[in-house]
Every structure is written in C-alpha cells, then in structure tokens.
Chain A
Amino acid sequence: METKSEKLLSELKKLANVGNIEGSAVVARNGLMIASDLPRDVDERRLGAMSATMMGAVETAAITLNKGTIKRVTAEIEKAILVAMGAGKKAILVVSASPNANLGMLMVEMEERVKNIREIIGV
C-alpha cells in the first residue's frame, strides 16, 4: 500500500514533468515540510517555514482588507517565480518555476494537483 507521503510525492512528480517547473513541495500551513521534490541544494525545511509564513502573512493582510479569501501568492524573483496555493485547511502547495514560465498554464497545473493533494490529505 502506498503511504500518504508516497502519494503526495507522486503528485509532485507530475509537476516535475511540466515545463519550467523546477521544484515543488507540500508544506503544512504551520511551516513543517510534508513532501518535497526540490533541487538538492535547496534547504527544504527553511523554504517550508518561510513559504508558510508568507502565506499566513498575506492571508492576514487579506482579512484586514476585508476583500475575501486568498487564492494564491505569487512572488516574482530575479531567477524564479515562486507560487504558493492553499491545498485544503492544513497544507499549501509551493512551486518554483523559471521566470519565463507561462503563469496561466502553471496555475492550471497547480490547481489540478491541489485537488488531488486535498483528497490525499483529507481536509
């Protein structure tokens, strides 16, 4: 039987096959790493902690604005695009892509994976 982590990893592996995606991870909203498929030189625990904090801070900003819930956070970095998207109550999906990635395509792919990730995690 496949464990939860293995199932999540196979979802992330599907993202690895999408052009321009360089790494991805399922991170708990509290910052702990649940599953990751990241380049070896990336400090995954730190990326997890920071992504969750980023998501939490933007979420709080959104509530403060009274403009509804947050769909995703996109950070445009010199040599990457970093996207974090909620995946149920407990987790977020974080993807790092190259700057020339097609954002629309990226979102569609991420939303597909998020559906499955939510199902695997269960909330």
Chain B
Amino acid sequence: MRTGIRILDDKIGEIPDNVAVLLSTSPGIDPASFGINIMDTALKNNSKCVYIVNNKPASAVRREASTMGLDLSRYESNNLLYIIDAFSGYMGIHSDEKHVVENPFETKNILDEVKKVQGDIIFIDSASSYIDMKEEVEELLRMIETLKKKMTVVALFSAWEYEKEIVKSIKNNFDAVLNIKPVEEVTIVRQFLFPEKIGWKKIKPFAVPVKVLKPGGVKVYFPKILVTGPYNAGKSSIVKSLSNKVVSVDRMGTTVALDHGYMDYKGFAADIYGTPGQEDFDPILQYLADEAVAVILVVDSAKPETFIRAKDMLSKTKAYGLPIVVAANKQDMGNALSAEDVKRKLGLPGDVPVCPTVATEKKGVELLLDELTERLMR
C-alpha cells in the first residue's frame, strides 16, 4: 500500500503487507484526518479497509472524511470498508452502527468483531485512547501483534505527555513511525511529517510539509509560491494556467495588486501569489514576496530588453537562494527567442531551468510544474 502523500511515498516506497505503522501527531493536530486520507488512498487502490474508532462516534469519522471532500459511503455500501464503533460501548451509550464492540474493555471482543469483517488494512483510531482506557500499553501491543498477522496495521496516536519509557516501548513495537509536528516559521505555523523509523528501507532523514485541506484532503503543501516578472510577460496568465481557482486584481488590463490562485498538481498543493510587473508597484512586492518558498520568473521571450528588469525583480523579491524556475513565455510569437537563448541572455545560475511556455494555451505549463515540484522535493 501507499500513503497517497507525495514525497513520502517516493522516499519510503511501497508499504509491505503485515507491518504496523504508527502515525503520531503532536497535540493540536488530529491524527484522524491523516488516517482517513491514507485509508481513502488505500480504498482507491482496491484494498479492503477496517476502521476501528474508540474516541468519537463513527459518524464523526464520516463527517471528517466529508469535510476533506472524501466520500466513504460508497465503499461502505460495497463492503470494502467497515467502520467499527468501539466508542459507544466505552461510553455506555446506544449505537445504531452495523459493527459495534459492545464491551471494548475486553481486547478479545475487539478482535472478534474485526474477524467478522476482515480486510487488508486496519486503522486504529486511536491507539492513544486505547492506552488511556486500559491504563497500560502491553495489551495494545499484543492486540497489534495479533492483527498484524492478518493485515497491515495503521495505528493513530496523539502524542500527549506520555512517559518516555512508554513512548519508547510503543515505537519499538512498530515497523514504521511517522511523526506529524507543527513547525513555527517566520510568521505562520506549518505542519511537517517526519519519518522517524522505516523498517523496510534505509532512509536519510527528511521532512514533508503537509496540510489538511478542507476540501482537498492531505496534501504536500507550500503556503506561497511567487510568480513574478516584467510588465505584460504573462504572469497573470501563468497563474491562471497553474491554478484550479484564481482571482486577479486587474485594472485596465494589468495587475495592480496580486493574482491569487490555488494549485493542486500530482499531490502537491500551493497558494500562488502573482505580483504586478510595473515598477510603480515595487513597494508592495516586498509584502507579496515575503516568506515565499519558491519563485516562478515569467519573461516574454520576444522581449529580451525586459530581461534586466526580470533579474531586478528577482533581487527585489529576495528570490536568490530559493528554488527558481523560469517560464520563457510567448513562445508562439514569431520573434520569440528559444528557451536556450532566453537562458543564455538571462545569465542565471546553470541549474535554473528555463521552460518554454505559451501561457494562454497552457502549453509547457506541466513541464514547468514538474521542474518546480522536483525542486521543492529536494
């Protein structure tokens, strides 16, 4: 199986059968969103899933899925997904669910209910609630050992302040441990996924920026990608061609504030900020460019006289040091320079890719995005 989270999947490869994966999140981050999203990916790949929930009503799981834009009901009605309610029994309340563990205090009851439905992958939401209920961890670990013989286990874990020894023994018992933690940046707080342990593959440490989009689900997410370049080069057109949903503050045919779009491409999501090009607007460039994680420079390939301005804008937006890709735009113009000539004339560092584009026809935009995401993955 795969998680459906780009970069992570690329680096850890296929998750083997009959392993146990711990998905641990810092307080304030709900592991269920991640669990549900991974499950949705598995279901789309024809795996049969079991989702056992002990810390909220089963309906809350469906609701969370639906706010992420995922529809679980068709899998449930086709018996490809079973949601087992181990919450009502724990709370001593009535349940209308089809699959219920009346007394979840007994691990055997849980295992019996799972046996009735069977599946390729089981999600436990959550291991931490189970530990809290049992007031010890051994029982959980034994349950996971048992489940692992039959299927792949994904256990969700809210990393509250458990004793170090407890956390250590839990992690030792899992084949893989994925941590999701908040990271405070200049102004905003981003979430990153850090693989702590991958039992089936040797990996170098890496971090994946993630966000739960509602709707959209879990995406590798970049909060700001800047699109800049001289007046009339085609910046707004590039932002439009990259985005699924876009607005431009254009007046009299040119951008006077910014273009703002949402990109969703091969598992990557980003907010795109397009700047004005005229020098009169340079004072607001600094606001728009601040905290960008990558820059797309757009130039009109038929107007090499604007390239000095293009490079000036890279300095003004403090782009040097960030991943940069160049769109050598308006390739359809008779007098357009080739991408190679644009590259030579611009005189940017050799590793900056220059991609030929016709923004108005969405031509070359995929290649541009591939170059960009490739650089964001490094």
Q: Which residues of A contact B (CB under 8 A)?
A: 3-6, 28-34, 45-46, 49-50, 52-54, 56-57, 60, 63, 90-91, 121
- Given A3-B28, A29-B290: A49 in contact with B260 (beta carbons within 8 A): yes
B257 to chain A: closest residue by CB: A53
B interface bracket (residues with beta carbon within 8 Å of A): 20 to 34
Nearest residue in B to A6 (C-beta to C-beta)? B28
- In the complex, the chain A residue whose C-beta lies closest to that of B184 is A4
Q: Which residue of A lies closest to B187 (CB)?
A: A28
Closest A residue to B188 using CB positions: A32
Closest to A52 in B: B287
Chain A minimum-CB-distance residue to B246: A46
Question: A5-B189, A28-B291, A32-B291 are known contacts. Are A56 and B283 too (CB-CB below 8 A)?
Answer: yes
Q: How far is the CA of A122 from the CA of B291 in the complex (A)?
A: 18
Decide if A45 touches B271 in the complex (CB within 8 Å). Answer: yes
Task: Give the 8 A-B residue pairs with the shortest CB-CB distance, closest first.
Answer: A30-B290, A28-B187, A56-B287, A60-B283, A56-B284, A53-B257, A32-B188, A49-B260
Number of inter-chain CB pairs below 8 Å:
72
Q: What's the Cα separation between A57 and B288 when bound, in Å?
A: 11
By a CB distance below 8 angstroms, the chain B residues around A31 are 224, 258, 273, 287-288
B249 at the interface (CB under 8 A from A): yes
Write out the residue numbers on chain A whose beta carbons fall within 8 Å of the beta carbon of B57. none
A6 to B249, CA, bound (A): 32
Chain A residues contacting B283 (CB-CB under 8 Å) are 56, 60, 63
**Chain B 171-209 near chain A by CB (<8 Å), digits 1 or 0:** 000000000001010111100000000000000000000
Which residues of chain B come closer than 8 Å to A50, judged between CB atoms?
Answer: 249, 257-258, 260
| 6 pairs, CB–CB < 8 Å, chain A vs chain B | A31-B224, A31-B287, A34-B189, A46-B260, A50-B260, A60-B284
- A49 contact set on B, CB distance < 8 A: 258, 260, 271, 273
Name which of A4, A28, A49, A91 has the most chain B CB atoms within 10 A of its CB.
A49
B89 at the interface (CB under 8 A from A): no
Question: What is the CB-to-nearest-CB distance from B251 to chain A, in angstroms, rounded to a whole number?
Answer: 12
CA distance A121 to B28 in the complex (A): 18
A34 B284 Cβ-Cβ under 8 A: no
Instruction: Report how far A30 CA is from B293 CA in the complex, Å.
Output: 13
Q: Tell me the complex Cα distance, A4–B260, Å.
A: 27
**Which single residue of chain B is at the shortest CB-CB distance from A91?**
B187
Is B304 located at the chain interface by the 8 A CB criterion? no
Q: Give chain B nearest CB distance to A119 CB in angstroms.
A: 15
> Which among A28, A52, A60 is the interface contact of B188 at CB below 8 angstroms?
A28
